[in-house]
Structure 1
Amino acid sequence: MLFDLPDFKTLYAALLARDDRFDGQAFVGVASTGVFCRLTCPARKPKAENCTFFATIGECIDAGYRACKRCHPLQAAALADPAIGALLQALDGQPDRRWSEGDVARLGYDPSTIRRSFKRQFGMTFLEMARQRRLREGFTALAEGAKVITAQHEASFESASAFRAAFARLLGCAPADLRADALLRATWIPTPLGDMIAVSSHTHLHLLEFVDRKALPAELRRLQAAARQPIGVGAQPPSDQAAAELADYFAARSSRFTTPLAVAGSAFTQSVWDALRTIPAGQTRSYSDIARQIGRPSAVRAVARANGANQIALMIPCHRVIGADGALTGYGGGLWRKQRLIEIERKLMILNKEIAS
């Protein structure tokens, strides 16, 4: 099953408080208006007697409700904000531009409001996101064999030291240290939910993380220490396979991942990761569910730690683990991503059921 909805009192309190812990996990149908909303909807709150709570969008539609035009429950929460959508579109149109708060203001938006909105939804500001996009261009150039100075220009960094510093913060080494013949090589994979870094050997994928994950530099350092040499740059067969499978996943064509994975952890940790991979797309489990599944019902906290130690995102689906009360819990890639991933997978589940019938 997906998960059991909390009781009415808990959900109605979450609706009144616009509690984002249940965003994407529960929806409210309002009898007096005939619409269904996210619990974080900014519209005036309905009376309790007019509310019915549902676990999925499909249930809301089946019950005869139509989507709210304020909170756009059919869209990812982040993209429901018109200002965010417009700026993301502008960034896509000019990825190599050195964006500034002045540019944001000239587009008609208050820079401080935009800064808070992006930080809340993406864990980074719009300017940080734009800088990351430029860094992707430099990374791609290096992967194609370009010299560092060429990569710096591709990334639109005027200062060589700034380019080196930005690169070092991301990969833990200077761009000149990257080797094309390294055992482990990193490649950059763009996705609709943000760019990802994949690190693989010739035979296995060792890491797959969103670029803005705070733990990424430490994870890369551990991989480098294990390999006893710096991580190189360039595609390998497993990272190419991962990119193709991720494209199918985000297009809601397939949730099946067959890329060979190299996982390093204790026997307990690997048992947790194995359990995560048995959760069907479109469904969720709690930490206590996983603990019971692996035969360690009292090890809930240890399961949570193992879940957080996963460094192969999506393919080892730690995003499918939620709180016992159905609330979204911590996710290294950001709760907004966790909510969107669950939505994507529920869409996949519905499509698979339609095909089967």
Structure 2
Amino acid sequence: MLVTDGTQIDTYYRALVERASDYVGIFFVGVKTTGVFCIATCRARKPRRENVEFYTDFKDALDAGFRPCKICRPTENAHVAPLPVARAIELVRANLKVRISDWQLRQQGISPELVRRWSGKHYGMTFQAFQRMLRVNTALQELKGGKRATDVALDSGYESLSGFGYTYKKMIGETPRDSTVTNVILIHRFTTPLGPMFVCTTEQGVCLLEFVDRRMLETEFRELQQQLKARIIAVENDHTRQTEREIGEYFAGRRRTFGVALHAPGSDFQQSVWRLLQTVPYGQTSSYQAQAEKLCKPEAVRAVASANGGNRIAIIVPCHRIIGKDGALMGYGGGVVRKQWLIKHEQRYAEEISRP
């Protein structure tokens, strides 16, 4: 949303001039003279007040015609964990079976209050809940490996089986001894030039890759858990790390195809549409009509469009390359502005390859 309140604009402009880190992600400033938009801490020379516009969301700045600043990279760095938060997360991951207390964070020079605020805003949960989720996932893997519930509880830092059982049931939905859950969906958040994304994976591969502000995201999470009979837990694995690396290479223009394994549950028809999507060449577009004809079902344009809309794995399964027969961009789960950006991004790098 464009900020129009004069007092708010004065506050944001002062924060921009002072490079106030507290305002990173709070506003995005569009600079009329250069056509770029930035975050509060950008190191570039500060523009005059009359030459800027402030937005509360980077998508609004993109929609207004501004492009991301190459110095501060606003769509990425507005959502990156500050160094103290990153250190706290690494501390947890290095000690999966130990509860990291506020006192221990302070001993490391980390503000627990900062960690709590950032975790609540970006993960939608408290830092302690994030820790519990990691510990329960570790416990689930050990139970699946045949380890006794009592041993798992004590090894995970719980003083009693009852305390461990309560937490486990709250997260998984069943007690450790009665658990029939054999599948978990791991969810990891990372940043991209078009904003943060969630990647969800099973042991087989990626089952979801979406921008975090997708409107239907909660529905997709619920449907995935039902289809796979699994629970979603925030933690990383080889699939999440490979996805983050390959998506980073894609945005840098160094990757055109993906090697990460996929696990996309759906009907036979949906599966056929998603496989066909992956044959649309990098840097090119197709239409719903053309996709239907390739499936030998020219009358099924609406069904093809619906299957495209049901794709949960953005970019890797490139539904952004499908446009209307008349060239219109049509809908896109991540937003039409992102769709247009992705198409132009691919066309630019595809043209560079084709040049002699």
TM-score by length of 1: 0.59
Check the 8 A contact 2:323/2:330 in 1, yes or no. Answer: yes
Q: Equivalences for 1:101-116 in 2 at 5 Å?
A: 108=49, 114-115=54-55
Letter of the 2:199 counterpart: A
Q: Equivalences for 1:1-357 in 2 at 5 Å?
A: 85-88=36-39, 90=40, 108=49, 114-115=54-55, 118=58, 120-121=60-61, 133=80, 141-142=88-89, 145=92, 147=100, 164=120, 167-168=123-124, 175=130, 178-179=133-134, 180-181=137-138, 183-354=184-355, 357=356
Provide the identity percentage.
32
Check the 8 A contact 2:287/2:325 in 1, yes or no. Answer: yes
Check the 8 A contact 2:206/2:262 in 1, yes or no. Answer: yes
Q: Helix, strand or coil for the counterpart of 1:307? A: helix
Gaps of 5+ in 2: 1-28, 64-73, 94-99, 141-183
**Higher Cα Rg, which structure:** 2
Q: Distance in 2 between matches of 1:201 and 1:214?
A: 23
CA displacement 1:165-195 (0-9 Å, x = unmatched): 864489xxx5365234363212222211111
CA displacement 1:49-83 (0-9 Å, x = unmatched): xxxxxxxxxxxxxxxxxxxxxxxxxxxxx988568
CA 1:342–1:165 in 2, change beyond 3 Å: closer, same or farther? Answer: closer
Check the 8 A contact 2:30/2:37 in 1, yes or no. Answer: no
Check the 8 A contact 2:55/2:61 in 1, yes or no. Answer: no
Letter of the 1:85 counterpart: V
CA displacement 1:228-250 (0-9 Å, x = unmatched): 45322222112222122112211
Equivalent position of 1:24 in the other structure = none
CA displacement 1:93-117 (0-9 Å, x = unmatched): 7xxxxxxxxxxxx994799x52378
Check the 8 A contact 1:168/1:175 in 2, yes or no. Answer: no
Letter of the 2:92 counterpart: G
- RMSD across aligned C-alpha pairs, in angstroms? 4.3
Letter of the 2:36 counterpart: G
How far 1:338 sits from its partner (Å)? 0.9
Gaps of 5+ in 1: 1-77, 94-105
CA 1:227–1:302 in 2, change beyond 3 Å: closer, same or farther? Answer: closer
CA 1:109–1:192 in 2, change beyond 3 Å: closer, same or farther? Answer: farther
Q: Mean alpha-carbon deviation: is it higher for 261-270 or for 159-168?
A: 159-168
Q: Helix, strand or coil for the counterpart of 1:290? A: helix
Instruction: Name the structure, 1 or 2, with higher relative contact order (CA <8 Å, separation 6+).
Output: 1
Q: Helix, strand or coil for the counterpart of 2:266? A: coil
CA 1:215–1:81 in 2, change beyond 3 Å: closer, same or farther? Answer: farther
Equivalent position of 1:56 in the other structure = none
Q: Distance in 1 between matches of 2:224 and 2:82?
A: 21
Check the 8 A contact 2:202/2:263 in 1, yes or no. Answer: no
TM-score by length of 2: 0.59
Q: Distance in 2 between matches of 1:211 and 1:91?
A: 23
Q: Distance in 2 between matches of 1:241 and 1:129?
A: 18
Check the 8 A contact 1:203/1:237 in 2, yes or no. Answer: no
